[in-house]
Structure 1
Amino acid sequence: MRTLLCFSIFCSFAAAKLSYNGFKVFRIENKGSAEELEQSLSSINSILLSKDPNSEAFDIAVPPDQLQAAHQLGFELNTVIDDLGTVLENEGPFLTYIATEKTQGVAADLPPLSYFDSYHPYDEHIQFLTDLQAAFPNNSDTFSLGPSVEGRELPGIHLWGGTGKGVKPAIVWHGTAHAREWISAPTVEYITYKVIEEYQGEDSEIVSILDNYDFYILPIVNPDGFVYTHESERLWRKNRQTRDSQTCIGTDVNRNWPSHWNVSGGSSPDPCSNTYRGEAPGDTPEIQALVAHMLDLANGPGIKAYIDWHSYGKLILLPYGYNCTALPDNYERQMSVGTGVASAIASVNGLEFRVGPTCTNLYQTAGSSTDWAFDVAGAEFSWLIELRPTAAEGGFVIPPENILPSGAEHWAGVKYMFSQL
């Protein structure tokens, strides 16, 4: 979810896959205006990876031909990653996922957990959801929203319990709104896998939660951007929308939700910024599809809980993002449950997640999913979770060995959340 300044070479169609060899990641301890710092960094075509709201520190990636210029800006640059290209090599190679065998009229086995040993391209994520459904045929459907800008589907799976489908309050999970945040999709998929596995194993808590709520899960809601990170630019963030008279490509779909869309400071009106909000609220096809789906749920059975999964930073973020003094009317309830979720996460691998409103615990955001889901769709719980790790541990680029631990810690977290619904 982190803010990213746009490389000038990133703002148009890429002719070849970008190499990050020689890119260095620095941390800057900011002593002045954040806006002035970001303006200075834009002059050297650096990538702003993250901003720490507590220390005012910035993590930036700098290409090799800009290193001298970066040092000449006068900031103290502390090296976090010496060669981003080397870190990227640790993400692969990808292991090919083989679809599970299926027999007409017979439930298939659950997919092998080896799926989570690797990252996967878009088509294999769709196949994995198909295979989850085949293993849970009487209590699930796959569905798709969209199409995206480039005609792809936003793939999803709907789970329900023994009381029938489509009539109970909804739990909605989204992943990969920001294309480069690869860890989010398999984390969401692992949690989905565990819901099915433990329901089939007759775990009383999971049977109860699935009998009382319907789950609508979309691990990749920015499919075009996600595909682009595989084929062209690993650190691409936005969708791939083109607009008349604009040379820069893409809209930040998590600044395009039609709620507090153009609040000053929460997004950018500049098409070349990676927090570009679009020309009008909800003018991306991806957000139009997601809004329509969630409004159908809100106007029908209602939405109990919404989680938008991102990386990185180890945060559980509540409304609001658009205003640093506004709080949701059930703030104490959301904070209480969020604190319990953070404790459950920490019990697995020791990672500590901070809980609190988005604006004060990360930075100001306008047109965000969680503000919209709370204010418009009426979700009682509306969270954005920033997954592991820190910049020093790879940031957006972390080895696949993190997938199962991330899944396990957030499975513990959502199980605690289930106990509080």
Structure 2
Amino acid sequence: MRIPALFVLLGFIRSWECVETRGKRYDGYQVIRVESPSINNTEIGNILHLYEVDIWRNPSISCASFDVMIRPQDLSSMTSNLDRAGAKFHSIVTDVQKLIDEERKPASRGRRRRDSGSKFLHVYHPYEEIRRWIRHFARINADIVRLVQVGITYQGRKIIAAKIGVPRGADKRVVWQDGGIHAREWISGASLMWVMKRLVRGYRQAEPDIVRYLQEMDWYIVPIWNVDGYRYTWTSNRLWRKSIGPKGSYGCFGVDLNRNFDTKFTGEGSTSSRACSDVYRGTHPFSGVESLSVSRFLQRKKGKIAAAITLHSYSQFWLYPYGYTHLQSEDENDLRSLSSRVVRAIFASNQTFYMYGSVENLAYQVPGSSVDWAHDALCVKYSFAVELRDTGTHGFILPARYINPTAKEYFEGLRVVADHVVDLPVEELKSSSCKQRGT
């Protein structure tokens, strides 16, 4: 399709609109689902790129459509171009700001009840309240919970993990879980706080499997990896995705930390070398302070990590390596078999349907991701990325009423992983690529 010069100019101008204003609002913004006849439909991609839309979800094998957020002033023009290109589309969120406003209402009530036990975990909270809750949680469960600094942010804040386990020697294997690497994906951190409490409660109530999990393994849980970015979603822009960092071209700042790992860093796929892009990969691998500092911590645990799981939203996918290539991991059969059992457990829990497969084959191509880096560099055979609820009705702005069911179903899948890795010989926890390299 030939693109009119006016639209080229429009796309150029849009690239200057990078510096965020405090308290950005999304009145009248819509999320449009654009059905693509082919997941490689260049014509549709060109139109979306023209308008610098925020792509909430890219086409995949499971869903050959784009979910894109569009400004109200661009809606008529963009949809006219899509219509001329023969694309089918419909609105799935008619007013983004209305969703955000509804999301904040229960949060304000929850803050007034922040000391009311489990009720705290049923709403979303600013980072300062999360930090206070985690400190209190560790203090009252000091026999099995310890806070560990695993990294630092660009603005100098600590990245904290809760280490949960029965104290023993240094030879214990590790289960690593993190959330909030993308700032706007609030459900990931909220779910992991729920998991923290569930593990401790299960231990206190002498549930045999959980007692065993904590006796045999140390559980490192990082609810919020991208602390600066998460705070920014509360103070300035609810839909901010990247980290906070020094300003680059056109005054844009921050990197997509999940494109910043040293795995085919400059590969093709959902990544960008433009500083203004939401999927900006940075200037070089580990240019993000957050990804660099946490990766150094994890390197010190190399050889002990039985499973590494990173939580995201949305799509309801249980994913495993690789994301940077269509080629299968040499551990494909084992990863697929375990993932199949995981999604069956999730469905049995809440009748929520998750799909499973490799990142590139089920979702889309993702170079520089933490799940691939853990598999290749840390030699973690059982490395997973989980896209939590939902499938687009609310997208990144998942109402607080879904925290409990989302966390509960994830935990049932987590049990399957824990049952599988708790007794495996250490050598069988190592990825095959690392075995062949002798690392």
TM-score scaled by structure 1? 0.91
Cα deviation code 1:29-60 (max 9, x no counterpart) = 12354444233213223221112312421111
What is the Cα deviation at residue 380 of structure 1? 2.3
1:96 is matched with 111
What is the Cα deviation at residue 98 of structure 1? 5.8
Measure the CA separation in 1 of the matches of 2:70 and 2:294: 35
SS in 1 for 2:348: helix
Measure the CA separation in 2 of the matches of 1:99 and 1:78: 40
- In proportion to residue count, which structure has more helix? 2
Paired residues for 1:5-404 under 5 Å: 8=14, 12-31=18-37, 33-54=40-61, 55-75=63-83, 76-93=88-105, 94=107, 95-96=110-111, 112-161=117-166, 164=168, 166-245=170-249, 247-298=251-302, 302-325=304-327, 327-391=328-392, 393-404=393-404
Structure 1: which 5+ residue stretches go unaligned?
101-110
CA contact (8 A) 1:165 1:214 kept: no
What is the Cα deviation at residue 9 of structure 1? 7.8
Change (3 A) 1:369 1:6: farther
Cα deviation code 1:195-235 (max 9, x no counterpart) = 11101111111111111111111111101111111111111
**Greater alpha carbon shift after TM alignment, 314-323 vs 139-148:** 139-148
Change (3 A) 1:18 1:34: farther
What is the Cα deviation at residue 7 of structure 1? 10
What is the Cα deviation at residue 246 of structure 1? 5.3
What is the Cα deviation at residue 374 of structure 1? 0.7
Change (3 A) 1:74 1:259: closer
Change (3 A) 1:74 1:267: closer
Measure the CA separation in 2 of the matches of 1:315 and 1:268: 23
After superposition, the CA RMSD in angstroms is 2.0
Change (3 A) 1:404 1:247: same
What is the Cα deviation at residue 245 of structure 1? 4.9
SS in 2 for 1:74: helix
Change (3 A) 1:6 1:79: farther
Q: How many residues align?
A: 402
Measure the CA separation in 2 of the matches of 1:273 and 1:51: 15
**Greater alpha carbon shift after TM alignment, 328-337 vs 313-322:** 328-337
Change (3 A) 1:312 1:10: farther
SS in 1 for 2:251: coil
CA contact (8 A) 1:146 1:286 kept: yes
Measure the CA separation in 2 of the matches of 1:375 and 1:63: 40
Letter in 1 for 2:294: L
Change (3 A) 1:354 1:58: same
What is the Cα deviation at residue 285 of structure 1? 0.5
Structure 2: which 5+ residue stretches go unaligned?
1-10, 422-439
What is the Cα deviation at residue 165 of structure 1? 5.5
What is the Cα deviation at residue 84 of structure 1? 1.5
**Greater alpha carbon shift after TM alignment, 188-197 vs 257-266:** 257-266
CA contact (8 A) 2:151 2:297 kept: no
Measure the CA separation in 2 of the matches of 1:81 and 1:149: 33
Measure the CA separation in 2 of the matches of 1:10 and 1:312: 28
Measure the CA separation in 1 of the matches of 2:243 and 2:143: 35
Identity %: 26
Measure the CA separation in 2 of the matches of 1:343 and 1:250: 38
Letter in 2 for 1:353: Y
Letter in 2 for 1:310: H
CA contact (8 A) 1:23 1:84 kept: yes
Change (3 A) 1:150 1:34: farther
What is the Cα deviation at residue 272 of structure 1? 1.5
Letter in 1 for 2:233: T
Letter in 2 for 1:155: I
Change (3 A) 1:12 1:27: closer
Measure the CA separation in 2 of the matches of 1:244 and 1:316: 34
Measure the CA separation in 2 of the matches of 1:198 and 1:376: 33
Measure the CA separation in 1 of the matches of 2:368 and 2:12: 20
Letter in 1 for 2:306: K
TM-score scaled by structure 2? 0.87
What is the Cα deviation at residue 317 of structure 1? 0.5
